[in-house]
Amino acid sequence: MGQDSLYGMKTRTLEGKEADLSQYAGKVTLVVNVASECGFTPQYKGLEKLHAELKDRNFAVLGFPSNDFGGQEPGTAEEIRSFCSTKYKVTFPMFEKVVTKAGGGQSAIYATLQAQAKELPDWNFCKYLVGKDGRVLKFFKSKVKPDDAGLRREIEAALK
């Protein structure tokens, strides 16, 4: 994986453990900036359904909590995990809270996604479809729900 591949990067899990994204090399992923107090938060249900349905086909949803928009992810890692587990039964990988916006504190992961997609989230629950090589295939705005037919078509095409 090249330096410009998402799968060549390291981060931390929501619990603060080292996480090497190379474990997703060869898989298709949907990278989502999530938040617990947003109007789009019910998308957790659809994201979990998508993850559960496709995980055996080398697909994963990767959640990156962010407090960038409307202060809608104010919680600690423990509070975020508790919320996701109890309210939405989230089993897909969740990572440490990040800054998605461009600037000094921006996560290296979001800087890489931005460089590839030429787009950054403008609200919570924006989605990057990342191919098996760790490069962004497509960017989807918040309003595109996990069960959107267009999103599903793109995922299916990437899985082929």
C-alpha 158/C-alpha 137 separation (Å) is 8
C-alpha 131/C-alpha 28 separation (Å) is 5
C-alpha 94/C-alpha 63 separation (Å) is 5
* Residue among 153, 121, 120 at smallest CA distance from 28: 153
| Residue 38 known to be catalytic | yes
| Annotated active-site residue in 14, 19, 21, 38 | 38
Catalytic residues: 38
